[in-house]
């Protein structure tokens, strides 16, 4: 692994995703790549920065903290499930948290942000596919909440020191492009409806990984979470 190799992979990936966006009539430059560095050592994270990748994503708070301390110039994103008891550490360490999956966690993160004077971007994770193993707000509940001001909009309006900036979802593993696009389209529709109900912009859609990133950008992803296409398969 070298910065040159990582840079070449990023360039190929960006070209492929830009082409997919153009085919769908979307902005070919309208997305950011978040490099998923979970399980990778600091040295590889540093190479990614040298290759020009500024946004790095981690799954676990405890694993990420030493990397964040070693590489404070990166923009660190928490993309894995967050336990409520780690909300305070996450709010002070990360620039963005993609995995806010309950109103309780949203309020805890906002309180932690207030106490630490940090302002992380928060994305609400929706379990669009309804898989029991996946985290996220229930699709049925979320669909009801985006139609009229209720608990969700009230909680969003109460948040002051953190910023709810958009939504996140994952497509079902192994599905074809049509099915993946349907999942991502549904998330975009939910975001659009919530913007109307809440009366505020929610510019971010975090969706798509290595296997379905093209489908995601075709449906309007603004952030794609990429590991394998940049760093190769994880050992084991």
Tens-digit pLDDT string for the chain (236 aa):
899 999 999 999 999 999 999 999 999 999 999 999 999 999 999 999 999 999 999 999 999 999 999 999 999 999 999 998 999 999 999 999 999 999 999 999 988 887 777 789 999 999 999 999 899 999 999 999 999 999 999 999 888 777 899 999 999 999 999 999 999 999 999 999 999 999 999 999 999 999 999 999 999 999 999 999 999 987 65
- Predicted local confidence at residue 89, as pLDDT: 94
User: What is the per-residue pLDDT for 236?
Assistant: 52
Q: How far apart are CA 182 and CA 221, in angstroms?
A: 13
Rounded to whole angstroms, the Cα distance separating 89 from 108 reads: 11
Query: What is the spatial distance between Cα 64 and Cα 99, in angstroms, rounded to a whole number?
Result: 15
Helix, strand, coil proportions of the chain in percent (round to 5)?
A: 45, 20, 35
pLDDT at 235: 65
Q: How many CA atoms lie within 13 A of 144 on its CB side?
A: 6
CATH class of the 3-231 domain in this structure: alpha beta
For the chain, the structural domain boundaries read 3-231
Phi and psi of 143, rounded to 5°?
A: -60, -40
Encoding tokens for residue 163?
A: 């910023």
Chain mean position to CA 155: 20
Looking up tokens 């290759």, which residue turns up? 51
For residue 119, the model assigns a pLDDT of 85
Long-range contacts of 131-137, Cβ-Cβ distance < 8 Å, separation of 24 or more: 131/172, 134/170, 135/81, 135/99, 135/101, 136/101, 136/168, 136/169, 137/101, 137/102
Q: Which of 67, 34, 10 is nearest to 226 (CA)?
A: 34
**pLDDT value at residue 193:** 98
* 39 DSSP 8-state letter: T
Residue pointed to by tokens 């193993």: 133
When computed from its CA atoms, the radius of gyration of the chain, rounded to whole angstroms, is: 17
| Distance (Å, whole) CA 36 – CA 79 | 8
């Amino acid at each position: 692994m070298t910065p040159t190799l990582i840079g070449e992979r990023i360039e190929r990936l960006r070209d492929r995703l830009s082409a997919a966006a153009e085919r769908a009539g979307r902005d070919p430059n309208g997305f950011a790549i978040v490099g998923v560095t979970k399980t990778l050592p600091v040295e590889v994270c540093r190479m990614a920065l040298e290759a020009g990748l500024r946004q790095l994503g981690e799954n676990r708070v405890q694993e990420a903290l030493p990397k964040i301390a070693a590489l404070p110039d990166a923009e660190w994103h928490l993309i894995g499930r967050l336990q409520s008891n780690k909300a305070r550490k996450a709010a002070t360490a990360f620039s963005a948290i993609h995995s806010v999956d309950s109103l309780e966690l949203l309020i805890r993160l906002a309180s932690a942000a207030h106490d630490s004077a940090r302002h992380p971007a928060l994305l609400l994770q929706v379990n669009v596919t309804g898989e029991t193993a996946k985290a996220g707000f229930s699709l049925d509940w979320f669909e009801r909440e985006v139609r009229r001001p209720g608990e969700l909009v009230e909680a969003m309006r109460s948040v002051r020191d953190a910023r709810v900036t958009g939504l996140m979802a994952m497509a079902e593993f192994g599905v074809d492009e049509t099915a993946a696009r349907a999942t991502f389209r549904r998330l975009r529709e939910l975001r659009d409806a919530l913007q109307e109900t809440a009366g505020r912009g929610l510019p971010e859609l975090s969706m798509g990984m290595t296997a379905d990133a093209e489908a995601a950008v075709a449906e309007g992803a603004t952030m794609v979470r990429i590991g394998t296409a940049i760093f190769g398969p994880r050992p084991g």
